[in-house]
Structure 1
């Protein structure tokens, strides 16, 4: 509709509806006011929008008794649309897709972030191929935002006390993402002193002092913004809080302050209530990706717990304890997130396993497999990332885009003619080539070339050639330049007369990451060479609009990170959603969903200490796959020019991966596995007992204190076994009896387990199974006796032990407190 107002102006304004309406001529608006076709279309769209916003969705049709009344979702970046540049990469795009799918499913979710006056940055290249950053100044009043105001029309301000008697204030802008309000806090206002106006200047900019102010505003200010918003809008207060990474972790200590100061509960009861309702998602597979602040810096911001401090009534030593790690001088934001959340997850199955190992120091005595961090594999928002041609085909096959959430619907692609699928893929590739030529021309002109030098661009890239995309952020672990490991071999692939391939590369490096910028420069210098510049290009200023064209048009999506450093890697999902085949290291989501027919696995040299040798081996494997598998299949055509075996891989990819990669699947998983259990846990924990408000939470807090005091004194004084033959046979019964000194705890306040498994050469248990032992009365010297009789789970060399863990009905699991005593 907006494009039809003025197609040329629509493109000039970057497809920004607000900018378009500000620039269109009054005469054109007068003309449209009498255009019956336009007005009828406008009415229909308005009716469709009203129906979308108001009709019951999946959430409204589910069992309300087990679901949250409201969800607060915090993230430092949101990639909702290119006209709202509040994102830098995958984390923000994931957050934007989370909001859109939450809207599609009808979740009562409110999102919170910061409103950056310069967004991330616009990227260009210098003459020698070095990344240059430009920070445009964005005016919120020219963006699709509204200012949150009170009943009198005055802007709502959230306030945070800062050191040196300063106050950080922020306005709240609201972006309406379908049904979902996104609250963005903006410190660039006259009410702030000059240095505090710049707190929300740039995404991931500034030094640590700057970053901690941003994260305090996002977490503490974000909770206060939600309170103001729900009061003004008449919405129910959220009962579940979701931290998307640790950046907003301070939201938990603000909520503790609310309970302590406004509900007059003690600190430990407040912590118990906060934990029960909080979900934490980690996105990084490496400790270096976690925000850490000097302890002294955190102490300076939280040190005054008096009435004029940042968090009155919250002792600074308790705050510091949330962020402790092995380095006593550092405050770890991810550790704080995990300590303030009863439920946590990684963003793919493999990343969940990596996270359980990375954070196992918080659960000493437990095997990494028992660390209570689960996984929800990321997803992408179909209507945002699928090409119009695929969406139209989907509507023809399914009747509606909502039906595409059901896996069975995707099987109807079997009815679609092979030639039609190839026609769509060829259309999208041709459109990508046109877009690449236009972007290539702009980039060369920005770098100082003249029009007279750029005649070659008119025929650069071939709409019929195998097209491979590689676009993502450029930290070193993603190995942007692995493709350049053997430049002669790559050049031969690009220039093959019969089976050429072409490469489109894009990505931004963090402004402070010179190593990443050097990788970009290497690619640019290779791609600048006249011999290959028509077959490989680095396109600057990677953003959502460029990403769509790449996902739509590329035949193959290349991904070659150092395994297992890719937490998920959703760009490959977006390509798959458009019939692109992945050529990837088995990392992130590809590790769990690669099936041998939806793309290719690049073999890895995991564990090789020599990184250069590892790169050589994996690059050689990449070239071999391109030469022997990928290009032959793409160019193997029938009499009609259709590569039937390739198209069958495309069809299989869409059928098998289409429903899996959708963010609607992801958000449903979060709702069923995390949000609903958190809401139920909060309801149980916040319940009164014998008329005492929050009585259940008080009981659990008292239990935790008693357990922490008693635990060092708990001992397993004796373990006896009977019935075990000299050569254990599968199914043989083993009876174990353990005498346990409970140090004042009651038998029902712990769980005693027998742990059985095969033993290795060091007598360590391998893949053990646990069996709960039952209380059998009192023993000598004040011990309690626990017994079990269990069939052996395996034969051969068998080992066993006994362990004690705390147990309470309001804990998410017996491993939650990180306490265990072994025999």
Structure 2
């Protein structure tokens, strides 16, 4: 019989057990082993600590068991220790506070906006790497003491749960999430009523949202929920599921995340006394509308639109995660126009100016679309990609927004992602590290661990994975309709002594889930090799609307169903954090074979590495940056065959098979005198001791603080209203005057030979005459750009040489600039001259996208010298 109404009955904890509630409602338990073990002791039958949700656990434990625990002195002692440890963690100074004591000028607070957050399986508000990265960012910020406020949406159905049909087709399920059963608390006003934010919609409608708070260690995570009674049915469903619905539905979600998120932050700070953020960090373009809300706030305090834009830009950081234009949210321009202006949200802010912020003004752009990433870049003075390679790809992709500049000068830097070691390091690895001196991810003493202990650890973790896989595979087949009598074969699936390869991630086509299937007979030979067999564990979800991805899943599943190989290759449905925390430690090799360079970063291999798993990957994302033969293997790529996809995939699959057969498997099975694979163990040791510290989220967050947050806070403080107005006026004046700025004449005084060559170490004296129109020398910077040149006279390895004014204007109103140009390299060499806008409050000379070049250098280099 089905209930007609559902509600939550909260447990009443005996007084001695009250600290359990605080421990359960702070998500630090998700990465704090001792606290998880404490909750496991509450109800010993709960074996899966990775999946244990303490809030649900406390709601399910019997009153009798609670009374028993309240009399258990040993348990109460553990509870007191855990409670005190949490208080010390929350209140004590950490890295950020130490930097402030040393005099670092850091922001009072940072607001971090993301459409998804993967903090724990108990709070399923993530779909893949973007959300897991956001969760790790919050956890690392908490560990470091960074005063961060996370902002997202609360999806009542989360992302989908995945199962398989009998023939291997992906099935999606959307279980309803009750916030009262999650580790969340409703933000309330002083009188106890729920706090809310309200957005205006066309036609006099409104979108209301409650604000739920999760505590991620020291970091509050605010999550907006539209499922409230004040909303009409359509508006109640705005936060129904992650990445669901049509274009208008997505627009509503992103308006609520950005605009409503800023209002939620203001409400939270008002109620709690938390410092107001000086820096707003937009994790991908989904939250880009936050900049518009901040413009509205400043416009209400008297700043005009352009001045407000300058103030907002100064304090905004934008992180892009996509290496392809197709991955960016773009809305119909008319749809956006309909929801802003006097009849919608942000009244008083000119809708046409809003539309200009998201217009694709570069060659090939579509003027009828509103691009969220373009708006994000225009409203952020600082932007970054998520690996060194992705930074370069992003500069190429967005170069059209800065015409006249080489991609290398596009103001998009990079901060390579990292992962939160306490979340992803297996407890067994942590305990071994503790015995030999080292913290999660920082194990400089790994060299001192005996080979036998390291190998026994790896075998134990592999054995745990085998057990996990068999249980999950059995459950999956039962859902697929199999009877228990059909499933005896599962007891022999995988072997704890066989080389184990893992592959788990989302399933868009570029990640190439089925590359391993290009030559099925070759793969079968690897799986069934008589002396060096390989076994593979695969998991991944295709987007519900991606039938192509679903076909890839079914193709892999059908291969793994073959009785010849099903004991050596398995597909596990419903990939998520709980599964990942078993999968990464238990694999010997982590496989990643995306189409280069379409993997922005790819952090799954980082999590595996922290557990001593070696990487076997295409040189893309972070692996392109940190690959060394000590840490794993690089799969060769056929980048030049992008137009012949089949040929490219055949070549790269063949290279993958060859690597596994000739290098990976022999190294794993090549045993020394004591029966140990000594060379393999040494690679594990190097991965743990040398690669591990590089891939940490605390390294990543420290970089954000030092390279982006602190400069953004400094820039924002400098732009008090009067300064913001003056900067906006200056930019308007420069833009209006720029058509009359020109490089009229360039001459070089140099000790050159008759053939036009010059000696290494010589110095040119450049004299340049520049027309500035109504601008003054203080408004510009004149530079020589020099370096090696290619056959088309394009300059590479460019160096910048500033030129200085040498006197006043000549009779024709031109200014003379001079400066030396040192010839410090041999070979084909060239230079050109350019004029850029210059102002103390610009982050880079490319910020305005304005540059003046000599006519002969508009497309190529000039003044080539040979030596």
| Residue of structure 1 in register with 2:28 after alignment | none
Alpha-carbon distance in 2 for matches of 1:789, 1:524: 66
Deviation at 1:13, TM superposition (A): 11
| Residue of structure 1 in register with 2:25 after alignment | none
CA RMSD of superposed structures (Å): 1.2
Deviation at 1:218, TM superposition (A): 0.1
Deviation at 1:638, TM superposition (A): 2.4
1:225-264 to structure 2, matched below 5 A, reads 225-261=264-300, 263-264=301-302
| Residue of structure 2 in register with 1:768 after alignment | 798
Matched, 1:56 2:93: yes
What number of residue pairs does the alignment pair up? 806
| Residue of structure 1 in register with 2:814 after alignment | 783
| Residue of structure 1 in register with 2:11 after alignment | none
Deviation at 1:785, TM superposition (A): 1.1
Deviation at 1:12, TM superposition (A): 10
SS in structure 1 at match of 2:541: coil
SS in structure 2 at match of 1:7: coil
Q: 1:160 aligns with which of 199, 219, 222?
A: 199
Give deviations 1:622-645, integer Å, cap 9, x for gaps.
000011001111011124321111
Alpha-carbon distance in 2 for matches of 1:91, 1:125: 25
Q: 1:274 aligns with which of 312, 335, 342?
A: 312
| Residue of structure 2 in register with 1:338 after alignment | 377
TM-score of the superposed pair, with normalisation by structure 1: 0.97
**In terms of mean alpha carbon deviation, does 46-55 or 60-69 score higher?**
60-69
Q: 2:741 aligns with which of 714, 726, 730?
A: 714
| Residue of structure 1 in register with 2:844 after alignment | 813
Alpha-carbon distance in 2 for matches of 1:766, 1:680: 33
Alpha-carbon distance in 2 for matches of 1:456, 1:194: 49
1:142-291 to structure 2, matched below 5 A, reads 142-261=181-300, 263-291=301-329
Deviation at 1:373, TM superposition (A): 0.5
Q: 1:655 aligns with which of 689, 694, 697?
A: 689
Q: 2:699 aligns with which of 652, 655, 665?
A: 665
| Residue of structure 2 in register with 1:690 after alignment | none
Matched, 1:574 2:607: yes
1:82 and 1:43, CA in 2 relative to 1: closer, same or farther beyond 3 A? same
Q: Indicate if the aligned counterparts of 2:110 and 2:147 stay in contact, CA closer than 8 A.
A: yes
Alpha-carbon distance in 2 for matches of 1:34, 1:640: 51
Give deviations 1:387-426, integer Å, cap 9, x for gaps.
0011112323336x3xx57xxx622111110110001101
Give deviations 1:164-192, integer Å, cap 9, x for gaps.
11000100000000000000000001011
Q: 1:311 aligns with which of 343, 346, 349?
A: 346
Q: Indicate if the aligned counterparts of 1:741 and 1:782 stay in contact, CA closer than 8 A.
A: yes
| Residue of structure 1 in register with 2:493 after alignment | 460
Alpha-carbon distance in 2 for matches of 1:711, 1:170: 46
Alpha-carbon distance in 1 for matches of 2:435, 2:267: 44
Q: Indicate if the aligned counterparts of 1:9 and 1:24 stay in contact, CA closer than 8 A.
A: no
Alpha-carbon distance in 1 for matches of 2:638, 2:650: 10
Deviation at 1:798, TM superposition (A): 2.8
| Residue of structure 1 in register with 2:453 after alignment | 420
Give deviations 1:509-564, integer Å, cap 9, x for gaps.
00000010000000001000100011001100000010111101000000000000
Deviation at 1:10, TM superposition (A): 5.9
Matched, 1:701 2:731: no
Give deviations 1:647-697, integer Å, cap 9, x for gaps.
0000011111111111000000100000011111111122xxxxxxx2221
Matched, 1:798 2:835: no
Give deviations 1:186-234, integer Å, cap 9, x for gaps.
0001011111000000000011110000000000000000000000001
Q: 1:521 aligns with which of 537, 546, 554?
A: 554
SS in structure 2 at match of 1:744: coil
Give deviations 1:726-776, integer Å, cap 9, x for gaps.
211211111111111112111011000011223322222233222110011
Q: 2:64 aligns with which of 6, 10, 27?
A: 27
| Residue of structure 2 in register with 1:397 after alignment | 436
Q: Indicate if the aligned counterparts of 1:291 and 1:334 stay in contact, CA closer than 8 A.
A: yes
SS in structure 2 at match of 1:199: coil
Q: 2:593 aligns with which of 555, 560, 563?
A: 560
**In terms of mean alpha carbon deviation, does 602-611 or 574-583 score higher?**
602-611
Q: Indicate if the aligned counterparts of 1:460 and 1:534 stay in contact, CA closer than 8 A.
A: yes
**In terms of mean alpha carbon deviation, does 372-381 or 55-64 score higher?**
55-64
Deviation at 1:235, TM superposition (A): 1.1
Q: Indicate if the aligned counterparts of 2:50 and 2:581 stay in contact, CA closer than 8 A.
A: no
Alpha-carbon distance in 2 for matches of 1:548, 1:343: 34
Deviation at 1:141, TM superposition (A): 0.8
Matched, 1:324 2:359: yes
| Residue of structure 2 in register with 1:616 after alignment | 650
Give deviations 1:91-149, integer Å, cap 9, x for gaps.
00000000000000000000100000000000000111110100000000110000000
| Residue of structure 1 in register with 2:27 after alignment | none
Matched, 1:139 2:146: no
Q: 2:671 aligns with which of 637, 644, 660?
A: 637
Q: Indicate if the aligned counterparts of 1:10 and 1:20 stay in contact, CA closer than 8 A.
A: no
Deviation at 1:597, TM superposition (A): 1.2
Alpha-carbon distance in 2 for matches of 1:607, 1:352: 21
SS in structure 2 at match of 1:816: coil
| Residue of structure 2 in register with 1:492 after alignment | 525
Deviation at 1:718, TM superposition (A): 1.3
Q: Indicate if the aligned counterparts of 2:317 and 2:712 stay in contact, CA closer than 8 A.
A: yes
**Which runs of 5 or more structure 2 residues have no equivalent in the other structure?**
1-37, 855-867
Give deviations 1:262-305, integer Å, cap 9, x for gaps.
x1111111101000000000000000000000001011011x33
**In terms of mean alpha carbon deviation, does 786-795 or 429-438 score higher?**
786-795
SS in structure 1 at match of 2:303: coil
Give deviations 1:237-268, integer Å, cap 9, x for gaps.
0000000000000000100000001x111111
| Residue of structure 2 in register with 1:746 after alignment | 776
| Residue of structure 1 in register with 2:418 after alignment | 379
Alpha-carbon distance in 2 for matches of 1:642, 1:231: 61
Q: 1:822 aligns with which of 853, 856, 862?
A: 853
Q: Indicate if the aligned counterparts of 1:432 and 1:550 stay in contact, CA closer than 8 A.
A: yes
Q: 1:127 aligns with which of 153, 166, 182?
A: 166
Alpha-carbon distance in 1 for matches of 2:782, 2:268: 47
Q: Indicate if the aligned counterparts of 2:419 and 2:607 stay in contact, CA closer than 8 A.
A: yes
Alpha-carbon distance in 1 for matches of 2:683, 2:645: 33
Alpha-carbon distance in 1 for matches of 2:114, 2:125: 11
Alpha-carbon distance in 2 for matches of 1:496, 1:795: 55
Alpha-carbon distance in 1 for matches of 2:265, 2:128: 25
Give deviations 1:361-382, integer Å, cap 9, x for gaps.
1110000000010000000000
Deviation at 1:65, TM superposition (A): 4.7
Q: Indicate if the aligned counterparts of 1:13 and 1:20 stay in contact, CA closer than 8 A.
A: no
Matched, 1:481 2:514: yes
Deviation at 1:14, TM superposition (A): 3.9
Q: Indicate if the aligned counterparts of 1:322 and 1:336 stay in contact, CA closer than 8 A.
A: yes
Q: Indicate if the aligned counterparts of 1:734 and 1:791 stay in contact, CA closer than 8 A.
A: yes
SS in structure 1 at match of 2:724: helix
Alpha-carbon distance in 1 for matches of 2:734, 2:593: 47
**In terms of mean alpha carbon deviation, does 582-591 or 2-11 score higher?**
2-11
Q: 1:731 aligns with which of 747, 761, 768?
A: 761
SS in structure 2 at match of 1:669: helix
